[in-house]
Structure 1
Amino acid sequence: MASKDLPSPSEIALITPGSEQPPTAMGFGEAPNNRSSADSAAAAPAAEKVQMKKQLGLLEGVAIILGIIFGSGIFISPKGVIREVEAVGTSLVIWILSGLLSMIGALCYAELGTCIPKSGGDYAYIYEAFGSLPAFLYLWDAMMIFVPTTNAIMGLTVASYVLQPFFPEECKIPDGALQLLAAVMICFLTFLNSYSMKATTKMQNVIMFTKVAALVLIIILGLVWMAMGNVENFNKPFDNSETDPGKLSVAFYSGIFSYAGWNYLNFMTEELRDPYKNLPRAIYISLPLVTAIYVLANLSYLAVLTPQQMVASEAIAVTFGKKVLGVWSLIIPILVAVSAFGGLSVHIMASSRMCFVGARNGHMPSLLSHISIDKYTPTPSLVFLCALSIVMLLVSDVYVLITYSSIVESFFIMLSVSAVLWFRYKRPNMERPIKVPLWVPIVFVIICAFLIIVPCYVAPYEVGMGVLITVIGIPFYYAGIVWQNKPIWLQNAIGKVTLTFQKLFMSAKEEKD
């Protein structure tokens, strides 16, 4: 790329009002009378348009799905299931049902991703099916809460596993050390995602095999443990099982949390080579594999550890390793740290595409819809989410924030899958390369509705706070998007800020084919 004639920062054009934007897309006020984005098109050779490249094949697609699902959840959250149900057999049933629910949901996303081949995932589908306001509210929750809090928590998880060997068991790791290391890792992965998609995806491919190897190791150790006759934990597996619907729904949430991420490849559809084939294939390969590995891993955990030991453990995989590996137990936290690190990288990469598409539709500041003119990555979106994630590291109640929003996020996922039913009704002749049986989205929506309604009874305060966070976005929608006739001084100010960041990031508006 060094020999390429790239435009100077001053030649990078601003987006002008109404240029390739939907009717509501003048949100957050673009500056009037700025130069057209055609200037940047003229500055760059036609052979290398300023747009994100189709660099993801089937292997990379599988790596993205496995990379985000095999984060740290399976190494930590199994105690959330066993704590609620209190029985080994019921716990395994919930893990199986959580996997089946995820597979049903993934089938729906395979249809959505091939009939609406746009990046942005849930945001794109809600926008296409239900319009601007619901899509904006999802984006509001995602950008303000879901994404940065998840990045912060994943960063803190990696940091805790990296630092733990340097502190005695009785010594608590200082919060400042955890936050600093988490911030460094988030910044590094943001830089890597901005600098080279090829390097990032290669790293994720390697980490994917490491993640699978870690879980296969846990499964083999558990099977060997059981083969040695240690099966007493499975005597009367359903004794004293919890039957309260509220607690069962909370247990399902813990299980589903570990499967979360099966829809993340849909955030990057436009960067997939041959998405009509590779998107569904990646989903069909990943989800059955995840379900089988998760159920077998939990079988191993439950064979080695009693329910009481699992509830008392802060990191089940580490406790498991200490019991079966002895002096070699250090292998487990290293593998967990690598796994969580890879999950964080995938989350940063995929969520930045949702931010990018939202800005492209006018639901976020226009500068976030720009692409690096030499790296072809959404650098402004990546940096924006990096800054929000670091802010979340400093929030003492970051875990509480994600608790407030988890029910709302489930509602929006249900809304996304409802789009399958809506399109079947409103657009019966819509091109559908993949068409799932109608019972599949119906079953998913019904189960999601149950998992949303029950917590309203069990945890009304948390649900209310999640709804409040969402509703706060409505004034921003009307001020930023509906109100188009903003004062000239405000539009000029936003235009100057946009130009400044264009120069800083060497970025320009995406050029269409």
Structure 2
Amino acid sequence: MGKQEQSEPLNQQPAEQQHDEDVGDKGLEKSMTLFNGVSIIVGCIIGSGIFISPTGIQAQAGSVGLSLIVWVLSGIFAAIGAYCYAELGTLIRKSGGDYAYIMEAFGPFLAFLRLWIESIVVRPCTATIVALTFAIYMLKPFYPDCDPPPLSTELIAALLLVLLTAVNCISVKWANKVQDIFFVAKVAALILIIFTGLWNLVSGKPQARDSFENIFENTAKDFQTASLAFYSGLFAYQGWNYLNFIVEELQNPKRNLPLSIAISCSLCTIIYTLTNVALYTSISPDEMLASPAVAVLFAEKNYGWFAFCMPIFVACSTIGSANGVILTSSRLFYCGAREGQMPNVLTMVNKQTKTPIPAVILTGLLSLIYLLLSNNIYSLINYIQVSYWIAIGGAILALFYFRKSMSDAPRAVKAPIIFPIFFIGCVLLVLVPVLGNPKDTAIGILIMLSGVPVYILFIAWKGKPKFIDSLTDSVTVFTQKLFMVVDANKED
């Protein structure tokens, strides 16, 4: 893969010598403001999850009261994790998120396993699922009572993935504008639901308070079942750590990273909780269990002919989410290549657009490949959830490590010592699926370990035949000429 001599420690200079203007790579422009940071995190968190998870949480929690508690606790849990990541992100100001932190703390092998499962499977699959959700909701107004024509959903999803890949290749500023626009659109959609729900309560609409009369009726008695509701809630909050993957492009990261995280997590928790309260003013728990498209059902009950707006709002939400995944995922490839764990060509950027075009295109291509396997993607995502929380737990362990190894380094953010207990929560989120569904968990671990032979063959093996290096060099030169890219870590 990349040149091994590039695999140097991520934090060679003392922290006090790492000025913001020098931290980023020469080829990546610090173009992201505080508002961009907030829009990226909120844009990644608020996607299709808020429109899908209410049904899953209600099914596992059993009662309205426990469902709302799960939404609040999931937000608090995500905020604690994000605050720990803020300390990591301001201490080691390298893009790559938990991959960078695991690399620095535990070395290249464990870091590569994290890179492998996240960049090759998790992110591309996520972008594909979000694109499919966009296509389904866009077609729903045209086919309200029947399924759309064969392959129409996949075609629209593919067009969205190609379009967003092109935008992210052309300009970081364009990608940020897409994120900002649809960030506003998705928040506006949820605010519309919230105010409609409040109006239902204030105006005394019949049955608006019915769901809240016996709020804890039918609460799940089984701890394992109730914990699965919490797992579903955290799925809706995924994305809280994505800004750490592009911290080098964030202006004044010591200030803007923790602020972006604090604002985003608070905003999402409030919006999610109030949205669910609003949904219950029109939809009973039984109706919620029967309808996975709860936002559409809510619109049909409240907006009359204007109900067609909700599928459009959901589509806007998914566009922003897919764009955020592509924007941050390509940077993960970029960081892996810079450390010698992905082909060196993925470190290269176009000097005019300041974008890592090869990495962006690879992300888009992988998403399109998974689109061909769309019938199996949902099972695949279930398989790799366990590796997601193993990686998060590894990053929190790295925080403990840095508290000792870099105890004197100045920290713009320092999480209270109780916050890293977040690690225990990560362990539980790994153990619960092991007990509840050992088969899927075993498959997920096997997928993660599939990176081991790749690491041995392409990274650890020093005496590879010369023709492999020659072939790699030829592909690199061809890609440079095709996309007009150069190594971002070199002056010329």
TM-score when scaled to structure 1? 0.90
Matched-pair contact (CA < 8 Å) for 2:169–2:356: yes
Describe the shift of the 1:151–1:175 C-alpha distance in structure 2 as closer, same or farther (beyond 3 A). farther
Query: Pick from 110, 114, 118: which aligns with 1:134?
Result: 110
Matched residues in 2 for 1:16 and 1:473: separation? 16
Q: Quote the Cα distance in structure 1 between the aligned partners of 2:367 and 2:260.
A: 29
1:75 to partner: Cα distance: 1.6
Q: How is 1:383-422 mapped onto 2 (pairs within 5 angstroms)? A: 383-395=361-373, 396-422=375-401
* Higher alpha-carbon deviation: 423-432 or 496-505: 423-432
Match of 1:436 in 2: 415
**2:169 corresponds to 1:215:** no
Counterpart position of 2:124:
148
Name 2:15's counterpart in structure 1. none
Distance change (3 Å), C-alpha of 1:168 and 1:289 = closer
1:244-291 deviation digits (Å, cap 9, x = unpaired): 222122111111111111111111100011111111111111111111
Rounded to whole Å, the distance in 1 between the matches of 2:247 and 2:480 is 25
Task: Number of aligned residue pairs: give it.
Answer: 473
1:500 maps to 2:483:
no
CA distance in 2, matches of 1:203, 1:129: 35
1:20-44 per-residue CA deviation (whole Å, 9 max, x = no partner) reads: 44399xxxxxxxxxxxxxxxxxxxx
Aligned partners of 1:249 and 1:455 also within 8 Å: no
SS in structure 2 at match of 1:486: coil
Q: Which moved more, 1:285-294 or 1:238-247?
A: 238-247
What CA distance in whole angstroms lies between the structure 2 residues aligned with 1:175 and 1:269? 42
Q: Is the 8 A contact 2:349 2:486 kept in 1?
A: yes
Q: How does 1:256-335 map to 2 (within 5 A)?
A: 256-335=234-313
SS at match of 1:77: helix
Partner of 1:162: 138
Q: Check the 8 A contact 1:50/1:372 in 2, yes or no.
A: no
* 2:13 matched residue in structure 1: none
1:512 deviates by 5.5
Aligned to 2:441: 463
Deviation at 1:485, TM superposition (A): 1.8
CA distances 1:151-181 after superposition (whole Å, capped 9, x unpaired): 1100000011111112131x11245111111
**2:176 match:** 201
Within-5 A mapping of 1:339-418: 339-395=317-373, 396-418=375-397
What amino acid is aligned across from residue 73 of structure 2 in structure 1?
L
Q: Note if contact 2:6-2:340 (Cα within 8 Å) is conserved in structure 1.
A: no
Amino acid at match of 1:22: E
Contact 1:50 1:373 in 2 (8 A): no
Aligned partner of 1:189 in structure 2 is: 164
Question: How big is the shift at 1:243?
Answer: 2.4
Deviations 1:43-62 (A, max 9, x none): xxxxxx96010000111111
Q: Percent identity?
A: 41
**TM score, norm. by length of structure 2:** 0.93
CA distance in 2, matches of 1:313, 1:403: 21
Q: Using the TM superposition, give the Cα deviation of residue 141 of structure 1 relative to its aligned residue in structure 2, in angstroms.
A: 0.5
Structure 1 unaligned spans of 5+: 1-14, 25-48
Q: Distance in 2 between matches of 1:168 and 1:324?
A: 17
- Asked whether the equivalents of residues 2 and 340 of structure 2 are also in contact (C-alpha less than 8 Å), the reply is no
Tell me if 1:491 matches 2:469: yes
Task: Please state how far the C-alpha of 1:121 moved relative to its aligned partner.
Answer: 0.8
**Within 2, Cα distance between the matches of 1:18 and 1:219?**
53
After superposition, the CA RMSD in angstroms is 1.7
Q: CA deviation at 1:322?
A: 0.5
| Residues 50, 371 of structure 1: 8 Å contact kept | no
Tell me how far apart the structure 2 counterparts of residues 86 and 367 of structure 1 sit (CA, whole Å).
Answer: 51
| 8 Å contact kept, 2:27–2:349 | yes
Q: Matches of 2:9 and 2:41 in 1, distance apart?
A: 34
| Matched residue, 2:22 | none
Structure 2 counterpart of 1:425:
404
2:189 maps to a residue whose letter is A
- What SS is found at the alignment partner of 2:93? coil
Opposite residue 156 of structure 1, the aligned amino acid is L
Residues 377-417 of structure 1: CA deviation (Å, up to 9, x unaligned): 01101111111110101112011000000111111111112
- 8 Å CA contact 1:75, 1:316 repeated in 2: yes
Structure 2, gaps ≥5 residues long: 11-24
TM-fit CA distance, 1:18:
5.4
Distance 1:177 1:457 in 2: 39
**What is the alpha-carbon distance in structure 2 between the residues aligned to residue 500 and residue 423 of structure 1?**
41
Distance (whole Å) between structure 2 residues aligned to residue 147 and residue 270 of structure 1:
20
Secondary structure in structure 2 of the residue aligned to 1:508:
strand
